[in-house]
Amino acid sequence: MARRKRYTPQVPKKTGIMVNVTSLTDMFTVILVFLLQTYNTSEVQIEPPKDLRVPTSLSEGVLTQGLEMTLSKDSLLLGKEVVAQIRDGDLAQNSKDSKDPNFIPALFESLEKTSKDSTVKAVKDGQILLIADRELSYAIIKKVMYTASMAGFPQVKLITSSQ
C-alpha cells in the first residue's frame, strides 16, 4: 500500500509572515492598569488606646491613610484632641445641637479646620479611620458618621481587629 503525500500549501517565497501583536499588547495594558490600581505601597499602623476594645472581623481589606478619629466610652477624639464627651453611652448634653439631634457641632468645626489646614491627600479626599469601642451603640457611631459626611468626609472606615 502506498502512502499519501502530506499536503503543504505553496507559499510564495517573497512574502513574509506578519504577526499581529495588537491584541496581546492591549491585554498586557489592561493587566498593568489593574495591578497598578490595586497595589498599595503605604503601610498604615494604627495602635488603639489600651482601654478601647475594637470589634473583630474576618474580612481582610487594604488599609489606606486617613484622618484618625477615636470613639471611646467616655470621649470622642480627633487625632489627639478631645472633641466631645460621652456620658452613659450618648453624647454629653453640651455636645449636641438643639435643632438636629444627629449633628455634633464641635466635631464639625474641628473637621472643617483640619480640612483647611491639612495638605495630606487622604484628608483632602475626605477619608476618616474611625476607631470605635465595640460596646458603643450604633446610634452614636451614626451621629459621628453623619457629622463627618456633613463636614466633607464621606469616606469613613471602621477599624477592626482580626483576632
Domain ranges of the chain: 67-158
Chain position carrying cell 503601610:
43
Res 62: pLDDT: 66
Res 124: pLDDT: 76
pTM of the model: 0.65
Query: Which CATH code, of 3.10.290.10, 3.30.450.90, 3.50.30.10, 3.30.420.270, is assigned to 67-158?
Result: 3.30.420.270
Res 42: pLDDT: 58
Buried-state track 26-51, b at ≥16 Cβ within 10 A, e below 16: eeeeeeeeeeeeeeeeeeeeeebeee
Q: For 66-104, how does the pLDDT look when each residue is reduced to its tens digit (9 = 90+)? A: 888 999 888 898 888 889 888 887 887 777 777 888 888
Identify the segments of the chain with pLDDT beneath 50. none
Res 40: pLDDT: 63
